[in-house]
Structure 1
């Protein structure tokens, strides 16, 4: 009997605390109403002994004969995957040597690391006790812009981990999956913990040393306060925002390294700024809680806007803003809206907070002005009207095809 599982997970925006979270300070992140979806069918629908992954957003389809996967798993390079299926609740963190071996043995030149992450998840979760890997076909597509600091890789990792676990007979029997009789369902909390652990491992394959905040938000949704790998839920009102993609490419690794170099050179200057970012994130938790209980509070709305603008000033002070982002901030301020970068900075995306009851005509004028801008490669700025605080991983199971 074939299993067909559909899963989805949201992207994220960091509201407060990007970069300072790397140094153990708290950050606040929220799920954004843009999702990545995956469909997993096993055995393969065409009956062939193959594993196929389709990633239309990056224009990639890859197919492996199962025999090729078995040869890799029998080699000395298989690392922890040689012991797959791996523990559902506590998968081992992938070692760099395993990532390198997956890449060298099973990927093509130029393939995105997401393909290696997919293989880690599929083999690690679905390999049978007799050592064989089931055939299958997986497709993943996203509403999220890729590489813009919105957690696209974490959403990919979380929804694939969820789909693979739901398709696993072992996981289906051992974990709780919620009420699936009425369509999409959110897995039980302990199951979400396991999905999050696997999604983090996939993020390790892709990024090397992720903070864990992206996969946590993609898995659990809503909003979280995150500090030193410990997350806690944050009360969040219904908040709308504009997501502004400047189209300016940037390297998270380079930006993080730049902040570290500046901190190493000027610790007495940088540490107080990073401390201020952490304090600001905790202040924001209090303001968001007040807004959740009293959405019409003008004082709380004003305070939230001040914190947004202050966080942007601190991010600029540590050197991670960009002229394109500065133009977005200035334009938003001229229309009366607070704004900040989200993610690593250096380009990428900004968020503009839309207070409850804001004037639609003013919002439309701001969007039109932003979309007329061009910062890179003749590509116009893209503005997405969205909201935050949406659900995390959801699943739909069709036992037969």
Structure 2
């Protein structure tokens, strides 16, 4: 297969769970949105006979503190060891022509923004394109889910669906093989769209896989109690979709607060982050963890809302935490020109 000299770039957005993380693993719905911060994967064909599919980690190292891009470069071999076998198995091939792999990201790793899903989908999309396989989002989503299993153990499939298809996504796993992935065409109303910020509490000590496992243990040991939490979360997710569509600010704050309380009952929100959230609530806003969470200190990114965004910014500054605004409903996986 002739590939020499070609360069392929594919990008995928980050994502946030508006509500439904963890309970989605157990068949409950989740509402997710893609955001306008992206991960890029670049594959450059190397001459036939090159010894290996090289990464760009050596080129990216310097004496400065590591960026997300540098951290990714240092993990290239691990990522490659997960992605290549999945593609080889699907295509029933033993070898992939040599290429150079470069991965860069506009958002922090391990912060609940779907970095592994974005990397997996962009890498798989780039690799399939490199191998001259027809562009197919459903296929890329399917293979990305296999990669997510390797990263996280028992993922729902929601993260990869959000970054592949983009926009606002209603997701529900009915069975292992049947998943409802429904794009929502309604935009977020202007009266609430500009009042969200993301506050980065830092990378959790625990991995997403560990946090998913923690919830699994609670399901086994406290089945009846956890089922009630999951059922309530399902009700809140349904209410949240309607609330966003009609732009009801009071109800939005109420639902985010209730959803966060359920996440705390699941044990995925540290006391440190709970204190930040209580401060936001006391000021008239609402906030919740996004993604796996954490039990020690940092939990990744908080999705925060307040009628006056400056209030949230002041609170973030008081904890010396970085924060940023994002565009919700961003485009999904795409080939870059």
Q: TM-score, length-normalised on structure 2?
A: 0.82
Which is higher, the Rg of structure 1 or of structure 2?
A: 1
Corresponding position: 1:304 with 2:267 = no
Candidates 3, 13, 16, aligned match of 1:13: 16
1:209-229 C-alpha deviation (Å, 9 max, x unpaired): 321111111101111111113
Shift of 1:153: 0.4
Alignment match of 1:198 (pick from 123, 143, 148): 143
Q: State yes or no: 1:245 paired with 2:183.
A: no
1:284-303 → structure 2 map (5 Å cutoff): 284-291=240-247, 300-303=248-251
Contact 2:30 2:170 in 1 (8 A): yes
1:336 is aligned to 2:302: no
- The alpha-carbon distance between structure 1 residues 6 and 334, as it changes in their structure 2 partners (threshold 3 A), is same
- Does residue 30 of the first structure (1) align with residue 33 of the second (2)? yes
Q: Which shows bigger deviation, 145-154 or 50-59?
A: 50-59
Aligned-partner Cα distance in 2 for 1:60–1:303:
39
DSSP 3-state at the match of 2:113: coil
1:120 aligns with 2:85: yes
TM-superposed deviation, 1:121: 5.3
Note if contact 2:197-2:312 (Cα within 8 Å) is conserved in structure 1: no
**CA spacing shift, 1:275–1:113, aligned 2, 3 Å:** farther
Corresponding position: 1:223 with 2:168:
yes
Distance 2:22 2:208 in 1: 10
Change (3 A) 1:211 1:54: farther
Query: Using the alignment, how far apart are the partners of 2:111 and 2:73 within structure 1?
Result: 23
Say if 1:286 and 1:59 are closer, same or farther in 2 by CA, change over 3 A: closer
Residues 262, 199 of structure 1: CA spacing in aligned structure 2 closer, same or farther, 3 A cutoff? closer
Conserved 8 A contact 2:305-2:312 = no
Q: Which residue of 1 is the match for residue 118 of structure 2? A: 155
Asked whether the 8 Å contact 2:11–2:336 carries over to 1, the reply is no
Q: Does 1:232 align with 2:235?
A: no
* Aligned residue runs from structure 1 range 1-400, under 5 A: 2-44=5-47, 48-54=50-56, 57-59=69-71, 113-120=78-85, 123=88, 132-169=95-132, 171=133, 175=134, 191-228=136-173, 229-234=179-184, 235-237=186-188, 239-240=193-194, 241-247=196-202, 248-291=204-247, 300-346=248-294, 347-354=299-306, 358-359=307-308, 363-373=309-319, 380-397=320-337
Asked if 1 retains the 8 angstrom alpha-carbon contact of 2:87 and 2:143, the reply is: no
What SS does the corresponding residue of 2:197 show, helix, strand or coil? strand
Residue 66 (structure 2) aligns with: none
Structure 1 residue matching 2:54: 3-state secondary structure: strand
Q: Offset at 1:314?
A: 1.4
Aligned residues: 309
- Contact kept in structure 2, 1:52 and 1:137, CA below 8 Å: yes
Q: Calculate the aligned-residue CA RMSD, in Å.
A: 2.6
The 10-residue stretch of structure 1 (31-40 or 112-121) with the greater mean CA deviation from structure 2: 112-121
Please list every run of 5 or more consecutive structure 1 residues that lacks an aligned counterpart in the other structure: 63-109, 178-190, 292-299, 374-379
Q: Contact (CA 8 Å) 1:54, 1:60: kept in 2 or not?
A: no
Q: Is the CA contact 1:337–1:353 (under 8 Å) kept in the aligned structure 2?
A: yes
SS of equivalent residue, structure 1 residue 11: strand
